[in-house]
Amino acid sequence: MTERAANANPRQATRLDAIAGRFDPWLLGLACAIACLGIVMVGSSSIAIAEGLDVGPFYFLGKHLLMLTAGAGLAFWMARTELKVLEQRGQLLLLLCIASLLLVFIPGIGHSVNGAQRWIRVPGISTFQMVEAVKVMYIVWLASYLKRYSEEVSATWPAMLKPIGVAIVLVVLLALQPDFGSLSLILAITGGMLVLGGVNMPRMFGPVLVGLPLLAVVAIAEPYRVRRLTSFMDPWADPFDSGYQLTNALMAVGRGEWFGVGLGSSIQKLQYLPEAHTDFIMAVIAEELGFVGVCLVVALFAALVGRAFWVGLKCAEMRRHFSAYCAFGIALWFGLQSFVSIGVNLGLLPTKGLTLPLISYGGSSTLMSCVAVGLLLRVSYELDRAQRQVARLRGEAAQPSAGTPPTASPLPSAAPVVARSVDAVRGTSRLRQRVEPTLGRAG
């Protein structure tokens, strides 16, 4: 609503401001269903590991529940935060992304595990993997950037190369840790959001053609990555060394058959399958719940990602472009990470250290996945609120107010607002007009 319309009819402005939205029940229900499945499977897959460490059979389940509870609190806080506040702090979030990845290299703060410098020590949490927080902050920054520079991104080289340059800075920091899985994910999210932002596709081919060989060089620079690639091609050639994880995962998948061996009856989780409650939890699901359980997990993630894209499309049609890009970024994140995690467990992709969002055990991943869900819910809330406000304006513009003669023009001061709002609802989305969608054209 324009300032003139608000001043001319303050009573109407108050009514519009008082309209509340609703959180999308599908997003909330699907996220809760995935989290509940994760609770069951973390409990089942971690009992043997916890007993082997002599910390009690439900040690990991208790910590997972604690992180989910804290994550639910963060999701509630995020769902009550106005998106305009996040948009205004986009530049600060970018600085925090870089600072977070540098923090792991500071002696006394950074924490190393198996030669990887990816964590920091946090009192009460033990360790926290900073790249999980970076994923959320980077998506919000990129969404704000695409909202502000949509025209330039689709028309000029510098505007397109700036987010790619930022991604390269993050990639370099991740390569130093090293974390090749998150590195690849950040690049994929950047490329996907740029395409949805209407980048000129022929112009995009240049960075892609340069980046792919460099990425390949990074992938083969370390001997252990080369072993992962070769063992992925034929894990049975060395089943007790480089192919150990994948062969045990495949045995778990094979034992599950159609309906699984039964919840809690997995054999591979009994100290045979490494990281059974984190990176390879999908293999335990396949063994205990079978093909049906695998299809259930895939269906839940497909529905969650599809619903997030749908909410993003509706935001784009309402010309709420920052909200749309946030929804698209989270959808890309959850979709790509779950695809890689499931593919690794089924032997379709080389082994990568990526958890299954909302299911795998891992405090950092659980907390930040919950924050992402809270952000999605906020997007859906503000979308529903905007739709209700537009519906109210259209209804009041169509009917004369009480006591007004039939010949009087109803709500003349609000007419320009109604026209623009109706145009925003009826305007054809550029996603349906072009193969290269441009959601960031400010209207």
224-251 pLDDT, tens per residue? 777 777 777 888 888 888 788 899 999 9
Are the CB atoms for 337 and 359 separated by under 8 Å?
no
- Give me the residues paired with residue 58 across strands: none
Please give the average per-residue pLDDT across 367-373, as a whole number: 96
- Write the pLDDT tens digit of every residue in 299-342: 999 999 999 999 999 999 999 999 999 999 999 999 999 999 99
What gap in Å lies between CA 201 and CA 195, rounded to an integer?
Answer: 7
Whole-angstrom CA distances from 326 to 109, 124, 320, 348, 373 are: 31, 30, 10, 29, 11
Residue 123 has pLDDT above 70, yes or no: yes
- pLDDT score at 9: 52
Question: What is the C-alpha separation between 136 and 159, in angstroms, rounded?
Answer: 22
Half-sphere exposure of 70 (CA within 13 A, CB side): 15
Is the separation of the CB atoms in 74 and 371 below 8 Å? yes
Q: Is the pLDDT of residue 384 over 80?
A: yes
Name the least confident of 122-131, 142-151, 247-256, 309-318.
122-131
> Which position has the higher pLDDT, 184 or 424?
184
214: Cα within 13 Å, side-chain hemisphere? 13
Q: By the 8 A CB rule, do 385 and 19 touch?
A: yes
User: Residue 304: which of 285, 327, 276, 274 has the closest Cα?
Assistant: 327
Mean pLDDT calculated for residue range 52-77: 93
pLDDT for the residue numbered 399: 67
- Mean local confidence (pLDDT), 143-166: 88
With 0-12 / 13-18 / 19 or more C-beta atoms within 10 angstroms meaning exposed / middle / buried, residue 162 is middle
pLDDT at 107 over 90: no
Coil vs helix vs strand at 399: coil
How distant is the alpha carbon of residue 1 from its chain centre?
Answer: 31
**Average pLDDT of the segment spanning 376-380:** 97
pLDDT tens profile 403-412 = 445 444 443 3
Looking from the CA of 153 toward its CB, the CA atoms found within 13 Å total 28
By the 8 A CB rule, do 308 and 376 touch? yes
Question: Residue 435: what pLDDT?
Answer: 35
How does residue 418 score in pLDDT terms, banded at 50, 70 and 90? Answer: very low
Report in angstroms the alpha-carbon separations of 143 from 80, 185, 302, 353, 377: 19, 16, 22, 26, 16
End-to-end CA distance of the chain: 14
Mean pLDDT across 126-146: 93
Residue 125's pLDDT is 64
Of the candidate ranges 131-145, 178-192, 262-276, 387-401, the one whose mean pLDDT is the lowest: 387-401
CB proximity list for 42: less than 8 A, separation 6 or greater: 60, 61, 64, 277, 281, 359, 360, 361
DSSP-based three-state secondary structure for 319: coil
Six-digit token string for 394:
């259209």
At residue 400 the predicted structure's pLDDT band, cuts being 50, 70 and 90, is low
